[in-house]
């Protein structure tokens, strides 16, 4: 390997050589270890990253390639992999160390690396340069000239060039190489921070191809591959957690998987607590990054480490230094892992931040708490209530938390940041909540949002006990809104609140109460809800906006208008961004799809939300499953659909659900039961609806439909007559009542009346975009529809898609016989058991077979189970 002068003599010799009248001194020859110029071996856990190779190879001739990222980012591994497997020209590799800050040694290492490739032609002056041991300017000049003659060009990688910054002479030598960029080499630099070689100028001149920390971060797929290559099996959720905790930093990933492989806990539990305070990470950060920082810079980072987000103005507050942004830029230049993420905001890498804050909490716990308190007040003043409360909690100051809650609770509620609000209320404790009516009302609204009515009512009672003699308008409005949403009349008159968001909440509460009233006042409710939208949008109160759109969609359900559901429901889904917020609205939209004749879309919409990992409220899950069951039935699996709807209703229990929605969903299940001839389940649904919301238009329609299913058509006509005369029922109910009246009239050979009833149903359905009721109408009504001039193409298609007729219901005696069919009893034994003749039993069994469309006992049992007739 190339012989050069020792570092101890290099600087003095260079100085003498540069002085006039001095001849070069003799030199002591040393050998540069071959390991310094060998491409590093690749680790066993290597994850191939060819996409990054292509970014490196995209550099044009003459462009400098710079790979700049903090320690542990995988720079060396990537470049070594590229050199060994990426193709392209031979690679000269120079792994630099601090001694190479001496210019002579630097140029000697470069020469040694180039010669080690074996790609330098025999006649090249570079061989002679090595043999004669040139030094100083002679060495630099001759080397640059010789590199320029290499053909074909080679790749020259200088790794760890940040070590040259300790001496200006080393930086100048590197800058000279970059400035000349000999034509015979493609120059590649790898460093932890920007070397002082004119990168901004090169960037401006398009002479630079860069790969930085963000490009080196491991993706989710690469994270999974690294874990697998390291012998650690992680499921998808664990990979996401690992990636989030490390931000894709290669060293952090590797340390985490090594710890897992060493048995330091299960994947889920270990990764949930993995941080910069982990011993292996702390040792790495301390040894590779923080040891090189000045004490003042380390304390600066410690003071800032309490914050995940770090706007520059907050950094000034936490440190008391007006120049903190400049200081952070200097730190970032030195160690990386601090980056500017916006015009006025920095980000400290998650593992470094967690290491620093854990260390600060141990060394100076009181100071750490003060920093959190300062951050809490700053975020509160800058309209970030969730951040403010999180820091107040970590400041371990309940009084501060209560103070902030007094002015932040309503914004948090209206933005939907309920976990932060619930956690803060828990921090201050029930006694503090009970002593402050504002906090008690906020707690009541949190419980109402979670459909926890008993807990909400208890908090309302606390607010009433602590109520002041002369409440401020905003406090009175907050109480009225909570009471209306809880389903009670406001206890006191309310004047217009000063806070626009609170005014919007009050309008939402009034609109919600009007929709829940019986009968619902949808026109006034819509007006109130539209008044809630303006402050919601102006104040970016996303939860208020979503809730308002959801209630507007519910207003369309109250009116039986599936076409009217679409606009507000889709607006709610688009605005929310959180599936759990809009699960019920998705159910309303699926109900709209179903009633407009698209059961496939309805089923897919419900299934998509039900499959999400977010925890759904029981009422929302019921709504989704009820609509999904009806859609599955319309798609040909009527038994499975009825089973799903019934199971969903049973699982609902006492969970809160708006009465109009209860009626709409019960009607779906009732129709599904009658289509299968299951009078028992139809009766269950009717009784359940009456017990839950009382006498309703949907209940009256269900009773009339049951009469029709049992052949009592005149009783059915009488049952719907009052509904049709009133005209106040939802359009869905009126249309189905009209179709039932039409079928009854046609069966009584009253064609004129049947046609008139059908005409009225078609007219009522047209404006509401109702299709499904026509597809499920009676057979004589559907026959009349086929020739009716007002029948739309969509209605005709929906009718044509229905190939099965409603199953005739089994009589009470037949149901008794059916219950015995799964047993091993023969007909005579059944007759003895029921005290009837054998012929009677056989006749009833034949009738059962006919009604179920089967020809055997086993077939009857299977079909009956499918229809829910056997439980």
At 662-699, the pLDDT tens digits run 999 999 999 999 998 889 899 999 999 999 999 999 99
Task: Evaluate whether residue 474 is within a structural domain.
Answer: no
Task: Evaluate whether residue 194 is within a structural domain.
Answer: yes
Q: What is the mean pLDDT of residues 73-80?
A: 92
pLDDT for res 712: 92
Shared-domain flag, residues 146 and 175: yes
Shared-domain flag, residues 246 and 179: no
Shared-domain flag, residues 344 and 249: yes
Task: Evaluate whether residue 524 is within a structural domain.
Answer: no
pLDDT for res 28: 33
pLDDT in tens, 16-69: 333 333 233 223 334 678 888 999 999 888 999 888 988 888 888 889 999 999
- What pTM was computed for the model? 0.71
pLDDT at residue 141 tops 70: yes
Shared-domain flag, residues 185 and 54: yes
Task: Evaluate whether residue 781 is within a structural domain.
Answer: yes
pLDDT in tens, 775-820: 999 999 999 998 888 888 888 888 887 766 677 888 778 788 888 8
What does the DSSP assignment read for 524-555? HHHHHHHHHHHHHHHTT-HHHHHHHHHHHHHH
Task: Evaluate whether residue 844 is within a structural domain.
Answer: yes
The last residue of a domain, from among 801, 823, 855: 801
Q: Are 56 and 82 in contact (CB under 8 A)?
A: yes
The last residue of a domain, from among 779, 801, 823: 801
Shared-domain flag, residues 77 and 189: yes
Shared-domain flag, residues 234 and 355: yes
Distance, in Å, from the CA atom of 353 to the CA atom of 9, rounded to the nearest integer, reads 43
The last residue of a domain, from among 761, 777, 801: 801
Residue of higher predicted confidence among 602 and 824: 602
Distance, in Å, from the CA atom of 832 to the CA atom of 640, rounded to the nearest integer, reads 35
Shared-domain flag, residues 758 and 829: no
Distance, in Å, from the CA atom of 59 to the CA atom of 189, rounded to the nearest integer, reads 13
Shared-domain flag, residues 46 and 193: yes
State the CB neighbour count (10 A cutoff) for residue 588.
25
Shared-domain flag, residues 233 and 132: no
pLDDT confidence tier of residue 505, bands split at 50, 70 and 90: very high
pLDDT above 70 coverage of the chain, percent: 94
pLDDT confidence tier of residue 268, bands split at 50, 70 and 90: low
Where in the sequence is the domain holding 380, given as residue range(s)? 220-391
CATH number at 847 reads 1.10.10.10
How many whole angstroms from its chain centre is CA 332?
Answer: 31
Total count of domains within the chain: 4
Distance, in Å, from the CA atom of 478 to the CA atom of 462, rounded to the nearest integer, reads 14
pLDDT for res 140: 87
Shared-domain flag, residues 263 and 383: yes
pLDDT in tens, 508-549: 999 999 998 878 899 999 999 999 999 999 999 999 999 999
Task: Evaluate whether residue 43 is within a structural domain.
Answer: yes
Beta strands in 107-180 (DSSP E): 154-159
Task: Evaluate whether residue 595 is within a structural domain.
Answer: no
pLDDT in tens, 201-228: 999 999 999 999 889 999 999 999 999 9
Q: Are 191 and 161 in contact (CB under 8 A)?
A: yes
CATH number at 20 reads 3.40.50.300
pLDDT at residue 4 tops 70: no
pLDDT at residue 5 tops 60: no
Distance, in Å, from the CA atom of 622 to the CA atom of 647, rounded to the nearest integer, reads 9
Task: Evaluate whether residue 338 is within a structural domain.
Answer: yes
Shared-domain flag, residues 174 and 251: no
Torsion of CA 351, 356, 359, 364, to 10 degrees: -150
In this structure, of 283-287, 404-408, 632-636, 827-831, the range with the lowest mean pLDDT score is: 283-287
pLDDT at residue 506 tops 90: yes
Q: Exposed, middle or buried by CB within 10 Å (0-12, 13-18, 19+), for 628?
A: buried
Residue of higher predicted confidence among 19 and 498: 498
Shared-domain flag, residues 79 and 225: no
SS3 at position 475: helix
pLDDT for res 600: 94
């Amino acid at each position: 390997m190339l012989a050069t002068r020792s570092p101890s003599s290099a600087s003095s010799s260079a100085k003498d050589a540069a002085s006039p009248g001095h001849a070069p001194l003799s030199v002591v020859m040393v050998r540069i270890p071959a390991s310094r110029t060998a491409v590093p071996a690749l680790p066993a856990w290597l994850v191939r990253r060819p996409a990054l190779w292509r970014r490196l190879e995209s550099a044009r001739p003459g462009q400098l390639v710079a790979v700049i990222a903090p320690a542990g980012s995988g720079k060396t591994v990537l470049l070594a992999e590229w050199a060994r497997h990426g193709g392209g020209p031979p690679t000269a590799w120079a792994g630099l160390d601090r001694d190479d800050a001496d210019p002579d040694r630097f140029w000697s290492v470069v020469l040694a690396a180039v010669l080690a490739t074996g790609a330098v032609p025999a006649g090249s002056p570079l061989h002679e340069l090595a043999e004669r041991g040139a030094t100083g300017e002679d060495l630099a000049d001759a080397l640059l000239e010789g590199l320029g003659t290499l053909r074909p060009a080679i790749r020259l990688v200088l790794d760890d060039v940040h070590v040259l910054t300790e001496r200006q002479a080393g930086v100048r030598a590197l800058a000279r190489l970059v400035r000349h960029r000999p034509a015979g080499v493609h120059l590649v630099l790898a460093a932890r921070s920007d070397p002082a070689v004119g990168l901004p100028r090169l960037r401006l001149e398009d002479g630079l191809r860069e790969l930085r920390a963000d490009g080196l971060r491991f993706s989710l797929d690469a994270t999974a591959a690294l874990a697998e290559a390291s012998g650690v099996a992680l499921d998808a959720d664990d990979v996401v957690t690992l990636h989030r905790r490390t931000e894709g930093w290669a060293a952090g990933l590797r340390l985490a998987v090594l710890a897992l492989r060493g048995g330091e806990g299960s994947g889920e539990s270990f990764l949930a607590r993995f941080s910069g305070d982990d011993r292996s990470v702390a040792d790495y950060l301390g040894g590779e990054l923080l040891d090189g920082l000045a004490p003042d810079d380390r304390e600066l980072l410690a003071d800032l480490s309490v914050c995940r987000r770090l706007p520059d103005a907050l950094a000034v507050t936490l440190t008391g230094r007006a120049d903190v942004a400049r200081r952070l830029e200097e730190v970032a230049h030195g160690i990386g892992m601090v980056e500017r993420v916006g015009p006025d905001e920095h980000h400290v890498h998650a593992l470094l931040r967690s290491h620093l804050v854990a260390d600060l909490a141990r060394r100076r716990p009181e100071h750490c708490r003060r920093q959190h308190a300062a951050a809490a007040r700053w975020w509160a003043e800058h309209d970030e209530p969730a951040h403010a409360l999180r820091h107040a909690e970590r400041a371990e100051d309940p009084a501060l938390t209560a103070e902030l809650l007094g002015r932040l609770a309503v914004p948090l509620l209206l933005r939907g940041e309920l976990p932060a609000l619930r956690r803060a209320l828990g921090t201050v404790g029930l006694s503090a909540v009970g002593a402050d009516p504002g906090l008690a009302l906020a707690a009541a609204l949190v419980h109402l949002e979670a459909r926890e009515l008993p807990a909400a009512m208890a908090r309302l009672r606390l607010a009433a006990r602590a109520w002041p003699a002369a409440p401020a308008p905003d406090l009175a409005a907050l109480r009225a809104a909570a009471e209306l949403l809880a389903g009670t009349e406001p206890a006191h008159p309310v004047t217009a609140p000063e806070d626009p968001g609170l005014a919007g909440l009050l309008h939402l509460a009034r609109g919600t109460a009007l929709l829940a009233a019986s009968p619902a006042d949808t026109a006034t409710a819509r007006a109130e809800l539209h008044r809630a939208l303006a402050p919601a949008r102006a104040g970016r109160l996303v939860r208020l906006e979503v809730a308002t759109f959801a209630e507007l969609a519910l207003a369309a359900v109250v009116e039986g208008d599936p076409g009217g559901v679409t606009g507000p429901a889709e607006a709610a889904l688009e605005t929310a961004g959180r599936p759990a917020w809009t699960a019920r609205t998705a159910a309303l939209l699926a109900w709209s799809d179903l009633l407009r004749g698209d059961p496939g879309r309805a089923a897919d919409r419900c299934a998509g939300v039900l499959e999400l990992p977010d925890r759904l409220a029981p009422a929302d899950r019921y709504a989704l499953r009820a609509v999904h069951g009806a859609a599955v039935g319309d798609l040909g699996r009527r038994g499975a659909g009825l089973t799903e709807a019934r199971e969903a209703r049973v699982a609902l229990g006492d969970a809160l659900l708006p009465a109009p929605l209860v009626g709409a969903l019960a009607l779906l299940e009732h129709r599904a039961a009658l289509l299968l001839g299951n009078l028992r389940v139809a009766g269950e649904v009717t009784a359940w609806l009456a017990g839950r919301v009382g006498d309703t238009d949907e209940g009256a329609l269900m009773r009339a439909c049951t009469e029709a299913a049992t052949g009592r058509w005149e009783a059915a006509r009488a049952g719907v007559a009052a509904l049709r005369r009133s005209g106040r029922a939802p359009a869905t109910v009126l249309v189905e009542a009209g179709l039932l009246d039409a079928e009854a009239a046609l069966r009584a050979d009253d064609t004129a009346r049947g046609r008139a009833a059908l005409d009225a149903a078609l007219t009522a359905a047209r404006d509401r975009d109702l299709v499904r009721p026509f597809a499920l109408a009676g057979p004589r009504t559907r026959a009349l529809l086929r020739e009716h001039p007002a029948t739309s193409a969509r209605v005709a298609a929906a009718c044509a898609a229905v190939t099965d007729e409603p199953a005739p219901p089994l009589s009470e005696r037949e149901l008794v016989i059916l219950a015995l069919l799964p047993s091993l009893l023969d007909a005579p034994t059944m007759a003895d058991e029921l005290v009837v003749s054998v012929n009677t039993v056989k006749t009833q069994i034949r009738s059962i077979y006919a009604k179920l469309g089967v020809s055997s006992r086993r077939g009857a049992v299977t079909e009956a189970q499918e229809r829910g007739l056997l439980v």
